[in-house]
Structure 1
Amino acid sequence: MPLTMSSTNAQNLSLSLCTILDSFGYSKEQIELRSKEMDYSLQKIEITANSFFKYSLLPELTYVSAGSTGEGIRLSDSDIDYMNAFQDIICVDEGFENSVCVVLESDRTSTAPGYTKIVLISNLDSFDLRTSSMIEKYMYLQIMSKYRTQSGKKYISSEQFKGITLDAMNLFGLKIFGKCSGPAFQPNDDLKVQIDSVISIYFYGGNYLNKWTNRSRNHAWPTSEVVNEVSQMEGYIVPIGDKQSDMQAYEWRICYTTAEKRLVSSLSDTQLKAYVLLKIMAKTLLKPRCNFLTSYVVKNVIFWVMEMSDSCELSPSHLVNLIQKAIFFIKHCVINNHLPNYMIPERNLLRGDVFGKDKVAIISFLSDCLEEGGSILLKVPKLYHCVALSISKPDLFPVFRKWRDETERILCLLTECIYDFSVVNLVEQNPSVDGLFNSLPRRCMSDNKTVVAFEKLFIHVVPDLWSLECSGTTEEDIYQIFLERLKLLKIL
């Protein structure tokens, strides 16, 4: 293809990419299905975990879906992200005594935008002595209040918080989590799963959200209804400090995870496709040259681009133009050494990341990407092969989309059956820890609803089961065929 594309070619490529993304599970309908399924699964896990550990010293946690998994746009090779928020612990701008929750106060003096130090306001006199769980949480935070200022304030250490919480979560010899990466806990290598679990505390500081709510917007997204809804949502503080601060070990980062998830859910079908395409492109082409371009940065870029786009730019035929606009925005931010966080614009997501020769090389590379126009997307091998296939076999995609979407819906039904059965059994039977993980799959398959859902999935994925059996194919080989076909759900 030529280095630059005509308007007609860009529109044709846009429509072709829309068809491809629809066929491989990235229609708005399927994205919403996965997002709701993740929320449902985490609710069941929350009930199970809190019931299982209710007699231990572990505090109860609320499970919050996060990242691309919670948004329903997780790519095939991405991690699964979620947050745990401590119940009955809150951080506010101005602390107050309270008998029903442990109260922390935010102290943002001498911290970079988007970060805060926290002080324990509650004391033992605040609680009824019969509320042992509240006292445990108070003591849990008290032992981490190590740094005392000249004014007498004692800051809670984010580093100690991570260490002590990690030890607590690995009680009973389970050893699920083995290391930390930033604010996230990651599982031991032998578990063979890609999960980031972030422990957080609810934050109800109003300053940042008020600024976000009241700033001027000139286009259709986000709508006033969504802005109003987001303005009333909670924030979170997570245990990671500003890497350029001398007080890093005592600082916490402020984030608005549920607000960002709500913003993603408010994106139109075309906007969501632009988000998915930019994620695919960033991971394959851009990040090797632009190390700063994490999935979180990509999301912030999409938010800014969509807020700055007129409604006429958001049609399916303009999909390629939206990607070009996003690349131009990234280049502009690199030139100015400032990529503002969407919820907290004062927080610079490029702070200290791009400078010197690297900056010059990145600007040159992004300029080349813009020069190539929409054809740059075809340098992503998966997208190139899909576009080629859509040209050579256009009738294949509608058939595949129908099969794939129905397979995913049945799989979600099966997942719900498994979680429903698991919660009832774990809460009522309270099995021992040693036998928990080994016995669960076998016990789930004794449940009639689970069996029916699995059979429905198997027949849908392997409709040629009868002919395979008649041809002498073994049960083991048929099961392998079933697994290989399921992998088609995650081509992109």
Structure 2
Amino acid sequence: MAEGGFGCTDTETGSVSRPNSLYSRHSQNYVESVSVEICTIMTRLGYGEEMRRWRVARYRECDRLRNAYLSNTFITAGSKAEGLTCVYESDRDHLFLLKNVICLEAGINLYSIPHDLQVYRMDTHVYPGHCRLLLERLTSRSNEIIDNALCDNGNGGVLLSSSLFLDEFSSSSFAYIDLLQLKTVQHKCVGPSLPLTIRGCLHEDNVLALRCLCPSVLHRWAARPRHWPSPVIVKKVVTLGAILTPVGFKGSEFKHMEWRINFNSGEAELVSNLNDTQAKVYVLLKMIIKDIIKPTNKEITSYILKNIVLWQAERNPQTRFSAYSLLHWLHDGLRELRTAIAKKYMPYYMIPERNLMEACGINNKLHRKWVADITDMLEEGPGVILRLEKIRKAIVGSPEPMLWYSKKRMELEMLWLEEQKRIAEYIYKNEMLNSSDFMLNSLRFRRGEVLMEVRQRMIQEGCSVNDRDDIAVAMLM
């Protein structure tokens, strides 16, 4: 993505003024009008800027309330923290940070760290974006998960093993912090996460992580020349710091001893500061992966797509991203994805030396197929949108029922999140849920009213679904 790679734009409308491959078979006016229409549809589907920022605020507030009573820090991560998905639309990603442990990069003075923290020194002489952890200082307070993951490095030192740490986490009850969540089923660990299914429909990925101080990495990121984000947001991302998750580089012989450097809170802040068009490009790219590419073993992840969009935002003036240019940037993102697959190379936005496509598991057959599939999509032009199930249904559906349903769906999600916030307030106050709580009962009563309205309309239109819980899950997918 060369800076300013697609030419000039009209700063009033954000429309593209120089033709590229997208406009070789379609007029510029046609592409721009389709772009605006898709933006409108995506807003109605719950991907608009207002709804996105509302979600972010509610999840952050729930985290704040929970952290007031938890012994370790709880962080909502992933698409929920970014405000880009509805309740059941994707997994809920949670991070648990051990409060009494800190990891330091070389050069940080040990004596500047509070004495009640157990300290590990980061050895970064491994694959970029990863490290090993050498014990530097113990404390009187022990942690069973940490203690059982310590190993002799053969040179008189003690290393913290990421694989043993993960094993200890998966066998502990640490992940089951929310006693209000019933019927929980634990699954086999995937990467650094412990997947859970709650009540058969709510999927969670829980990761136990360690706090990390690596200012030199963040300062190198902050010092890059850029169009985006603003200096204020850059400074905030730096202050949010980093964490280490228990997963090594896939191609490393010693991956069981390695940890990966992550910037989850900083990246969530960056994504929440994408403008409306940039966020919708990210969502559309994720839909294309899910509905068209369909990787079976996470060879291509939404994380790769996020990095594509972040690089787009950094390297191009914000005036070029508008509702008129949505399809242009979608095609630009697809071209970058095709290049990443073809070359097996995608630099990590925060640490460019780390290649996100390294050891991704794409075999030659998939390599050829996906490059060909994306080439076909690029040739298809705006028509590729019709291959995305959610967008296609919204286009085919009548405008009035679609708008009515959209309003009910968003209201239902708001009620759900407000209910979660109220429950978190009870936990913060260390109280049992009060069955007579006015606010909680009001939220649940209105939720029932909305579902009754939807069920009645479904019956009128010939649908036979009667269970309100089934309707709620289907609407919030």
TM-score (ref. length: structure 1): 0.80
Please tell me whether the aligned partners of residues 81 and 197 of structure 1 are also in contact (alpha carbons under 8 angstroms): yes
Q: Provide the residue aligned with 1:100 in structure 2.
A: 116
Q: 2:384 aligns with which of 352, 372, 376?
A: 376
Q: Provide the residue aligned with 2:229 in structure 1.
A: 222
After TM superposition, the structure 1 = structure 2 runs for residues 208-287 of structure 1, keeping only pairs within 5 Å, are 208-217=217-226, 219=227, 221-287=228-294
Q: Provide the residue aligned with 1:302 in structure 2.
A: 309
Distance 1:28 1:344, change over 3 A: same
Please tell me whether the aligned partners of residues 197 and 204 of structure 2 are also in contact (alpha carbons under 8 angstroms): no
| Structure 1 residue 376 displacement after superposition | 1.1
Secondary structure (helix, strand or coil) at the match of 2:141 reads helix
After TM superposition, the structure 1 = structure 2 runs for residues 350-361 of structure 1, keeping only pairs within 5 Å, are 350-353=357-360, 354=362, 356-361=364-369
Q: In structure 1, what residue type is equivalent to 2:252?
A: S
**C-alpha separation in 2, matches of 1:375 and 1:259:** 35
**C-alpha separation in 1, matches of 2:118 and 2:454:** 59
| Structure 1 residue 92 displacement after superposition | 0.7
Q: Provide the residue aligned with 2:4 in structure 1.
A: none
Q: 1:386 aligns with which of 378, 394, 404?
A: 394
Q: 1:70 aligns with which of 58, 81, 99?
A: 81
| Structure 1 residue 364 displacement after superposition | 2.2
Q: Provide the residue aligned with 2:129 in structure 1.
A: 114
Cα distance per residue 1:49-72 (max 9 Å; x no partner): x3xxxxxxxxx2100111101111
Please tell me whether the aligned partners of residues 80 and 92 of structure 2 are also in contact (alpha carbons under 8 angstroms): yes
TM-score (ref. length: structure 2): 0.83
Distance 1:369 1:192, change over 3 A: closer
Any unmatched runs of 5+ in structure 1?
Answer: 51-59, 125-133, 430-442, 472-476
Distance 1:464 1:39, change over 3 A: closer
| Structure 1 residue 479 displacement after superposition | 11
After TM superposition, the structure 1 = structure 2 runs for residues 15-30 of structure 1, keeping only pairs within 5 Å, are 15-30=36-51
Q: In structure 1, what residue type is equivalent to 2:51?
A: Q
Secondary structure (helix, strand or coil) at the match of 1:252 reads strand
| Structure 1 residue 147 displacement after superposition | 3.2
Distance 1:80 1:143, change over 3 A: closer
Q: Provide the residue aligned with 2:141 in structure 1.
A: 135
Q: Which has more helix, going by share of residues?
A: 1
Secondary structure (helix, strand or coil) at the match of 1:64 reads strand
Q: 1:79 aligns with which of 79, 87, 91?
A: 91
**Which range moved further: 244-253 or 408-417?**
408-417
Cα distance per residue 1:320-364 (max 9 Å; x no partner): 111101001112223332101111111101113346444333322
Q: Provide the residue aligned with 1:454 in structure 2.
A: 444
| Structure 1 residue 464 displacement after superposition | 9.2
| Structure 1 residue 290 displacement after superposition | 9.6
Cα distance per residue 1:245-277 (max 9 Å; x no partner): 111111001000000000011111121111111
Cα distance per residue 1:280-319 (max 9 Å; x no partner): 1221112349952211111111111222333342110111
Q: Provide the residue aligned with 2:14 in structure 1.
A: none
Please tell me whether the aligned partners of residues 321 and 374 of structure 1 are also in contact (alpha carbons under 8 angstroms): no
**C-alpha separation in 2, matches of 1:383 and 1:482:** 25
Q: Aligned pairs, how many?
A: 440
**C-alpha separation in 1, matches of 2:425 and 2:199:** 27
Two-structure CA RMSD over aligned residues (Å): 3.2
Distance 1:323 1:358, change over 3 A: same
Distance 1:370 1:206, change over 3 A: same
Distance 1:147 1:189, change over 3 A: farther
Q: Provide the residue aligned with 1:206 in structure 2.
A: 215
Please tell me whether the aligned partners of residues 274 and 319 of structure 1 are also in contact (alpha carbons under 8 angstroms): yes
**Which range moved further: 245-254 or 377-386?**
377-386
**C-alpha separation in 2, matches of 1:260 and 1:333:** 21
Please tell me whether the aligned partners of residues 421 and 447 of structure 1 are also in contact (alpha carbons under 8 angstroms): no
Q: In structure 2, what residue type is equivalent to 1:106?
A: M
| Structure 1 residue 177 displacement after superposition | 3.8
Secondary structure (helix, strand or coil) at the match of 1:362 reads helix
Please tell me whether the aligned partners of residues 237 and 253 of structure 1 are also in contact (alpha carbons under 8 angstroms): yes
| Structure 1 residue 397 displacement after superposition | 4.3
**C-alpha separation in 1, matches of 2:147 and 2:207:** 21
Secondary structure (helix, strand or coil) at the match of 1:37 reads helix
Cα distance per residue 1:96-152 (max 9 Å; x no partner): 25412111110112x10010000111135xxxxxxxxx5213x753442213243x3
Q: In structure 2, what residue type is equivalent to 1:20?
A: I
Please tell me whether the aligned partners of residues 341 and 348 of structure 1 are also in contact (alpha carbons under 8 angstroms): yes
After TM superposition, the structure 1 = structure 2 runs for residues 471-490 of structure 1, keeping only pairs within 5 Å, are 480=466, 482-483=468-469, 486-487=472-473, 489-490=475-476
Q: In structure 1, what residue type is equivalent to 2:168?
A: I
Secondary structure (helix, strand or coil) at the match of 1:169 reads coil
Please tell me whether the aligned partners of residues 183 and 239 of structure 1 are also in contact (alpha carbons under 8 angstroms): yes
**C-alpha separation in 1, matches of 2:328 and 2:297:** 21
Q: In structure 2, what residue type is equivalent to 1:375?
A: G
Q: In structure 2, what residue type is equivalent to 1:490?
A: L
Q: In structure 1, what residue type is equivalent to 2:42?
A: L
Distance 1:101 1:479, change over 3 A: farther
Please tell me whether the aligned partners of residues 246 and 258 of structure 2 are also in contact (alpha carbons under 8 angstroms): yes
| Structure 1 residue 197 displacement after superposition | 0.1
Distance 1:196 1:153, change over 3 A: same
**C-alpha separation in 2, matches of 1:62 and 1:232:** 16
Distance 1:148 1:335, change over 3 A: same
Aligned sequence identity (%): 24
| Structure 1 residue 480 displacement after superposition | 4.0
Please tell me whether the aligned partners of residues 104 and 122 of structure 1 are also in contact (alpha carbons under 8 angstroms): yes
1:34 aligns with 2:55: yes
Q: 1:168 aligns with which of 169, 172, 181?
A: 172
